Amino acid sequence: MAITEQYTSSECLICERTNPPGAMLCSACGAPMSLIEEAAIQQRSPRIITILGESNVGKTVYLGFLLDMLSKRAGGFEAIPKGAYSVNLQQSVISHMNARQFPPKTPLEVDHWKWAYYQVRHYDAHADEWFDLLLPDMAGEALAQEIETPQTYKAITGLLAKSAGALVLIDAAVAASGSPHPDYFALKLMSYVDRQFATKRGGKARNPIAIVLCKADYCPECFDNPRAFAETNLNRLWNICQSRFANVEFFAASTVGSLGFAHDEDDNVVPVPLHAAPRGILEPFEWILDRIRAMPAK
């Protein structure tokens, strides 16, 4: 079905459910219908890059800095937000971090997630191609539920089914401390992604996947050699990536330059980002875009 027909029939871009005209959100998956409007204006379906990761791994902050850097034309990128709603996420992240606070947790409800629709171009000598990118900021708890019980969140299922690639965020600081938890979560997550991406039994998934080792400022050796860090500290993840994914790379990233802690009004210990020093934010995105460039648009 042509994208313009999809718009008139209000078919959701994510889960393909037909919605009544004038609907704001998809009745099945909760994705905003304004995405379809944007896609119709562009006369092409956007390529979706999904950002996956556990709760508190820093998906929102990573995505906020990524979008902000893109809109500042960092790293030879040019990015244009399509619609004011696309700017809300980066505005929220940057405003909070500038005030030395982390942004609020992404709500569990799909209709409260922030979505960013950007046109992005990397103006290097080899390419002058614009990408329509859809970058949703999903709640980590929702992803965890979806992994345990697939189809709980149709938005996630639909997103992954339509994704050209994925950025998988892993908490390197917790992994470096010796906890097996990030490795187990990553193993479950990659098993789930494998099921969504794999084309046939025995075949490796070809969609590019960038494994981003977050909070790497806590373990600087992660920046020295992300692959070696993953093989040592996230061995289960490393093994499934080698076995099941043909197009995977490891990166280290951090956004906070220094972290303190304080008690809040309810005497809970809360982290305080003393200042921001984003590092390794663009590299995984650039890598994944290069890989997607070689793939035909869906």
Partner 1 sequence: MALRLFQRKPHTRGPVSGGVRTAQAFVPAPVEKLASDPLHALCQQERYNVIIQRRREWAEHPDGERLCREAAVRLESRMALVPAGRVTLAQTVVDAPGAPEVDVEVEPFLLDIHAVTNAQYQRFVDAGAYEDFDLWPRAIWPHLIHMRDQTGKPGPRYWRDGRHDQKLAMHPVVGISWYEAAAYARWIGQRLPTEAEWQMAATWRIKSETDLLRRFPWGDAMDRTRCNIWASGIGHTVPVDAYPEGAAPNGVLQLVGNVWEWVDGDLNLTTTEGKPIVAEMDIKATRGGAFDTYFESQATGLFRTGHIALARLHNIGFRCALSIGDAPWLREAV
**Interface residue list for partner 1 (CB under 8 A):** 65, 72, 74, 97-100, 217, 220, 223-224, 257-265, 272, 274-279
Choice between 4 and 98, CB closer to partner 1: 98
Choice between 197 and 223, CB closer to partner 1: 223
DSSP element (H, E) containing 223:
helix 221-224
C-alpha span between 114 and 107 (Å, rounded):
10
Pairing of strands 209-214, 47-53: unpaired
C-alpha span between 3 and 110 (Å, rounded):
23
Nearest approach in angstroms of CB 259 to partner 1 is 7
| Closest by Cα among 104, 102, 126 to 113 | 104
Nearest approach in angstroms of CB 77 to partner 1 is 12
Nearest approach in angstroms of CB 130 to partner 1 is 23
Tokens 């998809």 found at:
26
Q: Which residues does 207 contact at the CB level (< 8 Å), separation at least 6?
A: 163, 164, 165, 166, 197, 247, 295
C-alpha span between 297 and 132 (Å, rounded):
10
Q: Which two tokens stand for residue 15?
A: 């889960």
Choice between 203 and 260, CB closer to partner 1: 260
Nearest approach in angstroms of CB 236 to partner 1 is 27
Choice between 97 and 190, CB closer to partner 1: 97
Q: Which two tokens stand for residue 157?
A: 């299922």
Q: Strand, coil or helix: what is 241?
A: helix
Nearest approach in angstroms of CB 89 to partner 1 is 16
How would you label 227-241 residue by residue, b for 16+ Cβ within 10 Å and e otherwise?
A: eebbbebbebbbebb
Choice between 25 and 259, CB closer to partner 1: 259
Nearest approach in angstroms of CB 104 to partner 1 is 17
Nearest approach in angstroms of CB 174 to partner 1 is 14
Choice between 123 and 184, CB closer to partner 1: 123
Choice between 72 and 112, CB closer to partner 1: 72
Q: How do the residues of the chain divide into helix, strand and coil, expressed in percent and rounded to 5?
A: 40, 25, 35
